[in-house]
Amino acid sequence: MQLGLYSFGDSSIEQSTGRYVAESVIFRNLLERIKLADEVGLNYFGLGEHHREDYPVSAPAILLGAAASQTQQIHLGSAVTVLPTKDPVRVFQQYSTLDQITEGRAELTVGTGAYIESYPLFGQELADAQANFTEKLGLLQAMNAGNPVSFEGAFRPAISQLEVWPRPFNQKLDIWVATGETPESSERAAAFGFNANYSFLSAAPASKRAIVEHFRASAAAHGHVGLKVAVAGRGLVAERSSVAKETLYGGWLASVSVSQRERKREQPSREMFDEQASGDGPILAGDPNEVADRLAAIHSALGHDRHILQFDIGNIEHAAVMRSIELLGTKVLPQVQAL
């Protein structure tokens, strides 16, 4: 099982200024974190696309291009690209370019997005998101198969026997679909022959074995062999478990409070956090031994190929995030590989 990280480039309001942290600082910190993740042997770092002040990473491909020049082996990708609000041809070209720069280390993860701000921004109807997404997955599949490309649909002008350049370094991009917990979502990713990335943010990952197995069965039914499964969640590693949990709780509370308020849902509490951060819950916060044991237990249940964690939710202090990345690579990863 591969280990990696993902980030939305969380910002937060500085008490001294009453404003969000400058984007230049957020972006500089992200590049330092990606470079360190590469140095300690982690497999993947993904950047999520948003279009709001508290998540200022609106163009992940540009930041990933900057990271490409500072890294040697880590895979770099989106987490996620909101495909219904994009032109798939441009997305494919951007990540194929990144793949050429990195000589095969680029990946693309696409989804409909957890937030809706990109839909009015780019003139797309939220009501059409699922149909739009399915159609554009088909275009991605066609481009990944090779040139020339033909396509006709309702949400983008038709293409007739045209070539799309550049090609990926190894001719095909490694494409993932951010997959929901419904059977239909898994079936769609499997039908197109794309890998599945599950975000289990509130439920125990091990309890979702049935949906993961459904994806694998659907892939086999469509003749797709070797598709991969990733699990995404929140976490933090520190020398002491109590420090990891207290540090993560502060960032988690600040971030989740905003999203829950916007969606008119129950406000987060300490009890909610403790429940999710203990036992077989989705939050993996603790010392290296604890996090390694919990990762191994989840893998035992799901047999997944990659587990990625968000360490910087709510803009946790940069030094704490850097130390957590170091511990994940130098202490947790060797234990998980051994187990």
125-177: pLDDT as tens digits:
999 999 999 999 999 999 999 999 999 999 999 999 999 999 999 999 999 99
Kindly report the length of the chain: 339
**What predicted TM-score, i.e. pTM, was given to this entire model?**
0.96
Q: Which domains does the chain have, with CATH numbers?
A: 2-338 (3.20.20.30)
Residue 46 has pLDDT above 90, yes or no: yes
Distance CA 78, CA 45 (A): 8
73-101: pLDDT as tens digits:
999 999 999 999 999 999 999 999 999 99
Distance CA 6, CA 47 (A): 6
Residue 248 has pLDDT above 90, yes or no: yes
pLDDT score, position 66: 98
Q: Are residues 144 and 151 in contact, defined by beta-carbon separation less than 8 angstroms?
A: no
pLDDT score, position 39: 98
pLDDT score, position 180: 87
What is the mean pLDDT of the segment spanning 314-331? 98
**Where residue 181 falls among pLDDT bands split at 50, 70, 90?**
confident
In the block, residue with structure tokens 């130098």: 330
